[in-house]
Amino acid sequence: MPPTPHGAAGRLRTTPAALLTVLLALLTSALLTAPAASARTDARRAVPSATLTEVTGFGANPSNLQMYLYVPASVTAHPAVVVAVHYCTGSGPAMYSGTEFASLADRYGYIVIYPSVTRSSKCFDVSSPQALHRGGGSDPVGIKSMVDWVVRTYGADTSRIFATGISSGAMMTNVLLGDYPDVFAAGAAFSGVPFGCFATTDGSEWNTACANGTVTHTPQEWGDLVRGADPGYSGPRPRMQLWHGTADTTLHYPNFGEEIKQWTNVLGVGQTPAATDSPASGWTRTRYGGTGDRAPVEAISLQGVGHNLYTNGMAARVLTFFGLDSTGPTPPPPPAACKVRATTNAWNTGLTAGLTITNTSATAVDGWHLGFTLPAGQTVTGGWGATYSPSSGTVTATNVSYDATIAPGASVSIGYQASHTGNSAPPTAFTLNGTACTTG
């Protein structure tokens, strides 16, 4: 028998069978992937951009939550995702209209999920044993399904999934980070309580002892509650930002300290702040395990503020903590040189101030934050051309959509109304995106 042929002749002799195998494999792959790709395309078409839209059929949803979605027209490739969780008596649409996460998504290109409770209380389940364990059922499972739907449909970046919430939503933020530490990169909780603090076994959604701030544990005990939600997990834990008012009479202020104990323990950092400052009048900010904007734990205490502490401007600070206040992983270009002209028109207890911001560089400014300090006794009561936060002390004016870009040599005019106790002078120093401006 002659030897088996090699080279081109040998390859040709085996081609028909091999070719048939390859064709069958390609056909099978096409049949399996084409419907999935088509489904993703259809899902995207069903969610119009820049419009709050309800999504149904998103996956496992044992407690019948509703899913509302905001996809900006400028959504980035592989976008980040922010889950914004409402307060008791609220809803997804109320959270959409009452916070700035959607308008900031227009600037930074991430997607916002707004879960919405359908049970009569309109409060999220942060109490039942099912809610406090990974995959245990109830609301966290439905919210996780919403995240999975967005990841599948938009190719979202699974390393940039975040949660934030107010009151009941803040408590759910704590729960989500405990139940799904591999899903969420960080959270921001406004007026919440620690993970597990609201636990009940009688079916009640309310825990009076926790609400009154009388439930205390050691840091290790609080940390063990979080670790027990997903006992098989040993990977990195999500960072946490905490906000609370000292005059909160709904979820009392001691809960703030207990949250700090819990999350510093979970993240393995000390109980002593690495940095303490006051970013706004009446605010005390402590950072644990680091001194920068993305410390493992950041806690902001608001002196004399009650339960309803969220105000415009805070969402931008959340995005800074999340690392979403830029359109991509590359830091934004250095801010342009600037000049600010400030004038006031005063009466006995009030004033209006006009600010003209001029870009004196050769590079366009695309999105801006103007920082300045109000004279003592002045409090902003309204404004135009920008959002202002906080209302006194060191203030940041953030552009609105129609004046976000300042071309080289161009100017924008903004202003505010303020009350005063005698000093009606304008601010004397300004920064634009962190760079000092000239005045005059």
Q: Closest by alpha carbon to 124, among 77, 175, 56, 162?
A: 175
Measure the CA angle with vertex 231, ends 200 and 288; round to 5°: 85
Q: What is the DSSP string of 248-293?
A: -TTTTTHHHHHHHHHHHHHTT--SS-SEEE-SSTTEEEEEES-SST
Whether 355 contacts 340, CB under 8 Å: yes
Residue 387 CA to residue 416 CA, distance in Å, equals 9
User: Active-site residues: which are they?
Assistant: 167
Q: In the chain, what is the straight-line distance between the N-terminal and C-terminal CA atoms, in Å?
A: 100
Report how far apart, in Å, the C-alpha atoms of 409 and of each of 19, 64, 369, 413 are.
Answer: 65, 54, 18, 14
AA identity, residue 423: N
The size of the chain, in residues, is: 440
Torsion angle of the four alpha carbons 314, 317, 321, 325, in this order, in degrees rounded to the nearest 10: 120
Residue 44 CA to residue 80 CA, distance in Å, equals 16
Residue 303 CA to residue 72 CA, distance in Å, equals 35
Joined together, the tokens standing for residue 392 give 């006194």
Phi/psi of residue 75, each to 5°? -55, 135
Joined together, the tokens standing for residue 123 give 């409060």
Could you count the other beta carbons within 10 Å of the beta carbon of residue 33? 10
